[in-house]
Amino acid sequence: MDLETRLESLITLAEELGLTVRREPLGGDGGGYCVLRNQRILFVDDAADLETQYERTLMALAPLPDLYGRFLRPEIREDIERQRAAP
């Protein structure tokens, strides 16, 4: 699975979990997850390269408890587990 497909899979997953996904130019190394007025928002930095977008999205979603028990493609599950194990 290529990186673009992985990123789109993560974004779809975020939407399925009820997060609002906003693609914004944030300077090239931004992006992440926040809660604003009880709304969960995932920012994806359109100014960043594809790898940075993917890694930031992965970092934002990996800690969410909503992922437990959900089917994820093996490549995505592997990346999430790698991210969870990172210091």
pLDDT in tens, 66-79: 888 888 999 999 99
Task: Report domain extents, the chain.
Answer: 3-85
Sheet containing strand 32-36, edge to edge, reads: 20-24, 39-45, 32-36
Question: What b/e sequence results for 42-66 when a residue is b if at least 16 CB atoms lie within 10 Å of its CB, and e otherwise?
Answer: bbbbeebeeebbbbbbbebbbebee
Q: What is the per-residue pLDDT across 4-62, written as a single tens digit (0 to 9) for each?
A: 999 999 999 999 999 999 999 999 988 999 999 999 999 999 999 999 999 999 999 99
- Predicted TM-score (pTM) above 0.75: yes
Contact 21, 27 (CB under 8 A): no
| CATH architecture of the domain formed by 3-85 | 2-Layer Sandwich (3.30)
